[in-house]
Chains A and B, each alone.
Chain A
């Protein structure tokens, strides 16, 4: 398996622009997580899905952030409009509690977002 796939790996944009980050979970995994990591705040959970349904989005910072999972093999995290303080590394992770150890999440390589 190729693991969790994220695209793009790097994104540089200007303030006010829309940014879309993409994630393909490991095939067969039914839970998907979006995280954000910065030096100041560490690794924060933004939202997670079970069977394509958003379960907990309490970590989404504000209405500018939205996430979708239209099917089991694809998810997007969108920021509109983007701001410089959104600059961070965004990770996607997936898991299937039925197949792996409890809480064992598999992380993608991350997308490094820079908003100028």
Chain B
């Protein structure tokens, strides 16, 4: 089971880009990398998933280097409503961990 490590918290301001890096050194060949977002008093919500290189959707981008031992979630031009906990998950068994608390300030 691949273990993930991500920062406990990050602070940002409206309009800035936020990049959250997750380390997963023992990722298996078949493992996908998945990111979830959780707002207060709500369940987690799927944001994006990738296997290698770069994936982009309307919410975020996910950058995965060739060795796949880390990944970076990029949130462009954040707003106050992006304040949430962001979880990096690897593989099939969903171990959420503590996630990264992102606080966006005005």
- Number of residues of chain B lying within 8 A (CB) of chain A: 20
Q: Which residues of A contact B92 (CB under 8 A)?
A: 103
Contact A104/B43 with A33-B94, A42-B96 known, Cβ cut-off 8 Å:
no
CB–CB A102/B95 < 8 A: no
Chain A, 5-48, CB within 8 A of any chain B CB = 33, 35, 42-45
User: When chains A and B are docked, how far (Å) is the Cα of A105 from the Cα of B98?
Assistant: 18
Q: Which residues of B contact A108 (CB under 8 A)?
A: 43
A49 within 8 A of B: no
B89 within 8 A of A: yes
The chain B residue with its CB closest to the CB of A44 is B96
| 7 tightest Cβ-Cβ pairs between the two chains A and B | A107-B43, A43-B96, A104-B46, A103-B34, A42-B98, A91-B43, A101-B49
A–B complex contacts, Cβ < 8 Å, 20 sampled: A4-B43, A35-B96, A42-B96, A42-B99, A43-B38, A43-B96, A43-B99, A44-B96, A45-B96, A91-B43, A101-B49, A102-B49, A103-B34, A103-B89, A103-B92, A103-B94, A105-B46, A105-B94, A109-B43, A110-B43
